[in-house]
Amino acid sequence: MTTIYDPHHPLYLDEADTRKELERVYDLCQGCRMCVDLCPSFPTLFSYVDMHDDRDSGKMTPAQQDHVVDGCFQCKICYVTCPYTPELHEWALDFPRLMLRADAMRYTNGHISIRNKMTTAVLGRTDAVGKAATRSAVVANVIMGSKPGSLIRKVVEKTSGISSVRMLHPFARQRFTTWFEKRPKIRVMKSQGDVVVFPTCVVEYQHPSIGHDLVKVYEHNGVTCSLASTTTCCGAPYLHSGDIDGFTKVAAKNASKLAQDIRAGKDIVVPQPTCSYILKKDYVDYVGGPDAELVSRHTYDAAEYLMNLHNRDGNSLDLEFTGVIRDSITYHSPCHLRAQDIGLRSRDLMKLTGAKVKAVQQCSGIDGLWGLRAENAHVSLQIAEKLATEINGADGDIVAGDCHLANTAICEQTGNQPIHPLQVMARAYGFIEEN
């Protein structure tokens, strides 16, 4: 058994070694049980351990171990709450990273089902699907927009493994990068910063208006924006389905191009939490080297960058709001932003408009592809319902959230589409949403 989170370690993909490490960690988790209500992994784990009077996790079969791994959707909230992480305790427990290792080990050893691979191929190739779908958005949205539970969706589920009951994000007709290149050029007065926007697949193909508003709010505040040298997928879908080679290839290419932007004096701004997490944390672990380190140090979440600017002297952001000001906002704080340990910067940013902001921290249970896979949809929906109850209970005038995937789940559950915090700011400055 080796406690390793380094994917380059010779034993990282070794099945026997990984299974011994699963046994060690499962035993520690069953002694604490604090994470019982976070996701399906933990109740599954405890139910298997409780089948034996001596609570010996060593008696779990490989299939039972894998059942726990299948319940993890990489929300990282157990890591945020765990008292035994490598930074805090000699047990050096990083549950989500161990799940990534177990997934990679199974992927390498051919333990992943064909249907599971199909779902990854369809939803995970975000660039290929996104390019085709935005080009033929009218056709693509017949599928994406067809009613959950409809015949079309049932056929899609049978062939691809994408749940027939979940709401899917429709595709935009114009990609964010196309909009960016066509828009009238703006000269930023009193430049306070220089960034490249790494739009992420959700903003590029599905919700470019988040990107429009980001650029307008940044430029309004004296931050020059350009497109990142690479705007391809960060690689998260590969990593989260165990395809380490696929991920490392994409990540290495992106890290080298983004590092060129940074060496040209620019910072990187990312409007989707999962993707900023990947750039900040996972490129360092899987690619490593000076480029990945540089990218990690210079990547910012969209609200984080602005709040850093504001906190510098308190005068850097325009605090005159002549547009739509909300009295109260319910803010969904996404798991992958909480895992970045940067504070609730979007909440603080929206507070500058004078709004009262109430944060809700429940996970949406989507986490990339996990909640959209047919085999997970049922459990994921229960998690999303919990979030909806908290959102409805908070009763804000509007709901804001940085994660477009979680926002779709919130819309599915409550009927109201949340908006990105940068869009709240854009409306407060008086910018009108472009379609």
Partner 1 sequence: MAGLAGSKTHENLKDAFAGESQANSRYLWFAQKADVDGFPEIAALFRSIAVSETGHAFGILEYLAEIGDPASDEPIGDTEDNVKSSILSETYEYSEKYPIFAKTARDEGFSEIADWFESLARAEKSHALRLADALKSIS
Q: Which is nearer to partner 1, 10 or 393 (CB)?
A: 393
Indicate the burial class of 122 (C-beta count within 10 angstroms; 0-12, 13-18, 19 or more): middle
Q: Closest approach of Cβ 366 to partner 1, in Å?
A: 22
Q: Which is nearer to partner 1, 34 or 151 (CB)?
A: 34
Return the H-helix or E-strand segment holding 111: none
**Which three-class secondary structure state does DSSP give residue 160?**
helix
**Which three-class secondary structure state does DSSP give residue 117?**
helix
Q: Which is nearer to partner 1, 32 or 432 (CB)?
A: 32
325 binds partner 1 (CB under 8 A): no
Q: Which is nearer to partner 1, 32 or 151 (CB)?
A: 32
Binding partner 1 by CB under 8 A: which of 47, 81, 150, 417?
81
Q: Where are the beta strands (DSSP E) in 207-279?
A: 223-227, 267-270
Q: Which is nearer to partner 1, 90 or 320 (CB)?
A: 90
Q: Which is nearer to partner 1, 149 or 393 (CB)?
A: 393
32 binds partner 1 (CB under 8 A): yes
223-227, strands of its sheet edge to edge: 223-227, 193-197, 267-270, 299-301
Candidates 235, 234, 254, 233; CA nearest to 245 is 235
83 binds partner 1 (CB under 8 A): yes
Site string for partner 1, 337-376 (x = CB under 8 A): -------x--------------x-----------------
Beta carbons within 8 Å of 33's beta carbon, 6+ residues apart: 42, 46
155 binds partner 1 (CB under 8 A): no
What are the tokens at 296?
Answer: 């990690």
Binding partner 1 by CB under 8 A: which of 46, 79, 84, 247?
84
Q: Closest approach of Cβ 83 to partner 1, in Å?
A: 6
Number of H helices and E strands in the chain, helices first, is 23, 7
Q: Closest approach of Cβ 224 to partner 1, in Å?
A: 31
Stretch of 26-34, 146-154, 281-289, 312-320 lying at the interface with partner 1 (CB under 8 A): 26-34
Q: Which is nearer to partner 1, 203 or 344 (CB)?
A: 344
**Which three-class secondary structure state does DSSP give residue 331?**
strand
128 binds partner 1 (CB under 8 A): no
Q: Which residue intervals of 136-235 are DSSP H helices?
A: 137-144, 151-160, 176-182, 200-201, 208-220
Stretch of 78-86, 96-104, 123-131, 266-274 lying at the interface with partner 1 (CB under 8 A): 78-86
Return the H-helix or E-strand segment holding 357: strand 356-360
Q: Which residues bind partner 1 (CB under 8 A)?
A: 31-34, 36, 81, 83-84, 89, 344, 359
